[in-house]
C-alpha cells in the first residue's frame, strides 16, 4: 500500500491532482458540515502538505497564498462559525509572526529570551494609549484619540518602539550568557508587565490595572475594521512581510553573523564580527515583529491590560519555537499553528466532548481535570516528549544548500577572466 502510494507521489502530475483533491475534500467538508472544526484544520493542514511537495518555490507560495487568502476565508464565510474560524486564523497569524521574531533571537542568534511577550505588550500599549482617550491624560498637546487611519502608521511605530525596547533590554543584558541571560530576560518581561500595571500614578500613562478601553478600531479608506475576518487579512499581510524578511535575513550577511555568534562566540569575534552589535540587531529585529503584532492585537481587542502579557504567554511563544524546530522557519510557523490550535480548538473541543459524554452516562468529571484546564500540563508533557524523541522539533532546521555545479562553473569563468586580464595587461 505504502509502496503504491510512494510510486503515485513520484510523479508531479499525480501530486498536483492529489493535492487539489485534498483541498477540495477539506473545503467541501468545511462547506457542508455544520460544525466542521476538523475540516477547517484539514484545510490549514494542506499548507503543511504543500510545503512537503516538490513543486517549485513560486508555485508553492502562490498556491499557499491562494488557499489562505481566498479559498479558506470564502468557504468559511458560508459557515455559521465564520468569525470563529477567522479569529483562530488571526491568532495563528499573530503568534506565527511573534514566534518568527523569537526564532531570530533564540534560533538564529542563540540567545534564550524568556520575556519575549514584553515587546508584544509594548507594541499593544503604544497603539492603545494614543488611539484612546488615555493619551490626553498626560500629553500636553495633540487631540486624542487619534483617528483609525493612524493604525497603519502605528504598525511601523509599534515595530520601532519594540525594537527600541529590544535594544534597551539588550545593552545591559548582553554581558551575561546562557542561563543567566534567560533569567535576566525573564525578569525584564515581568518588569514591563508590572510597570504597565502600575503606571497610573503619579502620571497616568497606562491606566494601571484598569487597562485601556475603547480603543479606536482601524480605518481603511473610510471602512472601519472591526471583525475578525477583516483583521485576518491585516495579520496575513504582516505575516507575509515577516516571512519575507526572515527568509532574506537568514541567508544574509547579518543572518550568517547571528549563526556564527550562536555556534562559537570566540571564533565569530576572531572573524571580525562585533558581538554586541550583532546580538542587539537580533533583539531589535525580533522584537519589532512582536511590536507590530502587538498593535494589531490592541486594535482587534479594543481593550488592553497587563493580564494579556504574563509570563505564561512568553513561555507559549518559546514552546512554539522549540516544538517547531529552533532556527527552522517552516518549523516555527507549524509550531505556532499547532500550539494555537491545540489551545483554542482541540483542547476546548475535547473538553466539551468529555463533558457531554459524562453527562450522558451520569459520571461527573470535575472541571479541574478537563483538558482545557490542563493546558500547562499538556504542553509540558509535549515538550518532554519532544526533548526525548525529537530534539530538533517538528521540522528540523536545514541549512540552505548552494548549487555546487553553478559555483564550479562561475569559479572557472572567473579564473578565465582573471587570466585574460593579466595576459591582456602584459601585452599592453
Provide the phi-psi class of 327: left if phi over 0, else alpha when psi is between -120 and 50, else beta.
left
As measured in angstroms, the least distance from the Cβ of 397 to another protein is: 8
Specify the residue for cell string 462559525. Answer: 81
Specify the residue for cell string 505575516. Answer: 239
All residues at 6 or more sequence positions from 367 whose CB lies less than 8 Å from its CB, including other chains:
373
Is 327 or 371 the residue whose CB approaches another protein more closely? 327
Is 402 or 426 the residue whose CB approaches another protein more closely? 402
Is 205 or 261 the residue whose CB approaches another protein more closely? 261
Cell of residue 248, nine digits: 532574506
Is 35 or 263 the residue whose CB approaches another protein more closely? 263
As measured in angstroms, the least distance from the Cβ of 262 to another protein is: 7
Partners of 220 in beta bridges:
223
Residues present in the chain in total: 428
Specify the residue for cell string 518555490. Answer: 57
Is 208 or 396 the residue whose CB approaches another protein more closely? 396
Q: To 10 degrees, what angle do helices 82-103 and 329-341 make?
A: 140
As measured in angstroms, the least distance from the Cβ of 288 to another protein is: 13
- From residue 254, alpha-carbon distances to 163, 165, 403 in Å are 16, 20, 21
Is 60 or 256 the residue whose CB approaches another protein more closely? 256
As measured in angstroms, the least distance from the Cβ of 99 to another protein is: 20
Cell of residue 110, nine digits: 542563540
Is residue 223 within a helix (H) or strand (E), and if so which, with residue range? strand 223-224
- From residue 283, alpha-carbon distances to 61, 108, 328, 339 in Å are 28, 11, 18, 23
Instruction: Tell me the C-alpha distance between 200 and 182, whole Å.
Output: 29
As measured in angstroms, the least distance from the Cβ of 107 to another protein is: 11
As measured in angstroms, the least distance from the Cβ of 163 to another protein is: 14
Is 270 or 388 the residue whose CB approaches another protein more closely? 270
Is 1 or 402 the residue whose CB approaches another protein more closely? 402
As measured in angstroms, the least distance from the Cβ of 71 to another protein is: 29
Residues engaged in binding another protein (CB under 8 A):
245, 248-249, 252-257, 259-260, 262-264, 266-275, 281, 327, 399, 401-402, 404, 407-408, 410-411, 414-415
As measured in angstroms, the least distance from the Cβ of 340 to another protein is: 27
Cis bond before residue 107 (omega within 30° of 0): no
For 41, other C-beta atoms within 10 Å of its C-beta total 17
Pair 163, 132: CB distance under 8 Å: no
Amino acid at each position: 500500500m505504502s509502496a503504491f502510494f510512494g510510486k503515485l507521489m513520484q510523479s508531479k502530475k499525480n501530486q498536483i491532482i492529489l493535492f487539489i483533491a485534498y483541498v477540495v475534500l477539506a473545503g467541501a467538508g468545511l462547506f457542508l458540515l455544520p460544525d466542521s472544526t476538523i475540516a477547517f484544520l484539514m484545510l490549514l493542514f494542506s499548507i503543511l502538505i504543500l510545503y512537503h511537495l516538490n513543486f517549485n518555490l513560486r508555485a508553492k507560495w502562490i498556491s499557499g497564498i491562494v488557499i489562505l487568502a481566498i479559498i479558506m476565508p470564502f468557504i468559511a464565510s458560508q459557515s455559521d462559525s465564520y468569525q470563529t474560524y477567522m479569529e483562530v486564523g488571526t491568532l495563528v497569524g499573530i503568534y506565527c509572526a511573534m514566534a518568527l521574531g523569537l526564532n531570530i533571537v533564540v534560533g538564529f542568534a542563540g540567545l534564550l529570551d524568556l520575556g519575549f511577550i514584553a515587546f508584544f505588550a509594548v507594541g499593544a500599549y503604544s497603539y492603545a494609549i494614543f488611539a484612546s482617550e488615555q493619551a490626553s491624560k498626560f500629553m500636553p498637546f495633540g487631540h486624542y484619540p487619534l483617528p483609525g487611519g493612524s493604525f497603519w502608521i502605528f504598525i511601523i511605530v509599534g515595530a520601532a518602539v519594540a525594537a527600541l525596547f529590544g535594544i534597551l533590554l539588550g545593552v545591559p543584558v548582553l554581558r551575561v550568557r546562557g542561563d543567566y541571560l534567560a533569567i535576566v530576560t525573564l525578569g525584564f518581561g515581568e518588569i514591563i508587565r508590572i510597570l504597565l500595571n502600575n503606571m497610573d500614578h503619579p502620571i497616568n500613562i497606562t491606566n494601571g490595572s484598569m487597562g485601556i478601553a475603547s480603543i479606536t478600531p482601524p480605518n481603511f479608506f473610510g471602512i472601519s475594521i472591526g471583525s475578525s475576518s477583516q483583521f485576518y487579512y491585516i495579520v496575513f499581510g504582516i505575516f507575509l512581510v515577516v516571512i519575507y524578511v526572515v527568509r532574506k535575513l537568514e541567508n544574509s550577511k547579518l543572518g550568517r553573523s547571528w549563526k556564527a555568534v550562536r555556534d562559537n562566540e570566540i571564533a565569530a569575534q576572531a572573524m571580525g564580527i562585533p558581538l554586541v552589535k550583532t546580538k542587539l540587531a537580533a533583539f531589535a529585529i525580533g522584537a519589532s515583529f512582536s511590536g507590530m503584532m502587538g498593535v494589531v492585537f490592541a486594535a482587534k481587542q479594543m481593550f488592553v491590560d497587563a493580564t494579556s502579557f504574563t509570563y505564561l504567554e512568553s513561555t507559549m511563544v518559546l514552546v512554539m519555537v522549540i516544538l517547531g524546530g529552533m532556527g527552522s522557519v517552516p518549523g516555527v510557523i507549524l509550531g505556532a499553528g499547532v500550539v494555537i490550535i491545540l489551545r483554542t480548538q482541540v483542547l476546548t473541543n475535547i473538553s466539551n466532548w468529555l463533558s457531554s459524554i459524562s453527562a450522558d452516562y451520569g459520571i461527573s468529571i470535575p472541571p479541574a481535570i478537563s483538558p482545557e484546564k490542563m493546558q500547562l500540563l499538556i504542553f509540558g508533557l509535549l515538550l518532554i516528549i519532544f526533548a526525548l524523541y525529537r530534539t530538533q522539533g517538528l521540522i528540523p532546521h536545514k541549512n540552505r544548500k548552494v548549487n555546487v555545479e553553478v559555483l564550479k562553473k562561475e569559479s572557472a569563468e572567473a579564473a578565465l577572466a582573471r587570466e585574460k586580464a593579466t595576459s591582456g595587461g602584459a601585452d599592453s
